[in-house]
Homo-oligomer: A and B are copies of this chain.
């Protein structure tokens, strides 16, 4: 996938692809299956996994000797989350957003053609999104995803979607051309919304966060049941999200009028 492998890094790439084989859908692997799935020789996989096990990145079921991700991965992920300065900077804004709107506020970044929830503050309402930090959602069916895709160079965006856009509801945009139209609109208006495109009844709005270099590095969103986020009310929420995103961007060194 990633071209131009820097020389001398074969085993790291292999080790990482082993780690990435542990998904939510398949969190446990036997050695032989794992090796086959990743396309490695069994011995090589065994050696790499043993190393990863010694480092605590994976662990094994005492009984079945099946591999699963280990505490080392949790520790590392926790550190990555905490030390992310975007995360630190945004926290207060998320809390304010969630407080003002009563809905759940999230901070998300893009990872390939998914978005990753980096931080979340629950809304006041009982009915709302569950705690989902570190989970991923498809970019094309989320408001944050649309924002993060919209500000990508068109070519780069197209490269991401080599496989068909997965349908989640009847409203999901599954046509790439149609998505591009939507993204153009998002760019034009500076925010994105989803209306039941990921899940029936779920509505959300997102706005981009710019870094000091005027690149979009993340998106904030507010999401909740469509019953509460109806058109009249939604526009107000959209504005709040935009303002919050703008404040975060400024704290990251973004200056609106482009200089340099």
B136, A75: Cβ atoms closer than 8 Å:
yes
CB of A232 within 8 A of chain B?
Answer: no
- The reply to whether the CB of A155 lies closer than 8 angstroms to some CB of chain B is no
Instruction: List B contacts of A54 (CB < 8 A).
Output: 2, 5-6, 9, 13
Complex: chain B residue closest to A58, CB-CB: B80
Tell whether, in the assembled complex, residue A78 and residue B9 are in contact, meaning their CB atoms are under 8 Å apart: no
Query: Inside 8 A of A71's CB, which chain B residues have their CB?
Result: 80, 84, 109, 111, 116, 118, 212, 250-254
The answer on a CB contact under 8 Å between A78 and B79 is no
Q: Mark A209-226, 1 if CB is under 8 A from B, else 0.
A: 001110100000000000
Is A57 located at the chain interface by the 8 A CB criterion?
yes
- Residues of B with C-beta under 8 A to A212: 63, 71, 74-75, 77-78
Say whether A75 contacts B255, CB under 8 Å.
yes
Collect the chain B residues with CB atoms within 8 Å of residue A13's CB. Answer: 51, 54-55
Give the nearest-CB partner of A114 in chain B.
B75
Chain B residues in 8 Å Cβ range of A51: 6, 9, 12-13, 16
Q: Given contacts A68-B84, A80-B69, is CB(A16)–CB(B57) below 8 Å?
A: yes
Given the complex of chains A and B, what is the CA–CA distance between A131 and B74 in angstroms? 15
List residues of chain B with CB within 8 A of the CB of A5: 54
Instruction: Say how far A244's CB is from chain B's closest CB, in angstroms.
Output: 14
A179 at the interface (CB under 8 A from B): no
Query: Interface-forming stretch among A21-29, A138-146, A169-177, A182-190?
Result: A21-29
21 A-B pairs with CB atoms under 8 Å apart are A9-B51, A9-B54, A11-B11, A12-B52, A16-B52, A16-B55, A24-B79, A59-B251, A62-B211, A63-B212, A63-B213, A69-B79, A70-B251, A71-B212, A71-B254, A73-B253, A74-B118, A74-B252, A75-B253, A76-B76, A82-B135
8 closest A-B pairs by beta carbon, nearest first, are A77-B77, A78-B134, A74-B253, A27-B83, A9-B51, A69-B80, A73-B80, A12-B51
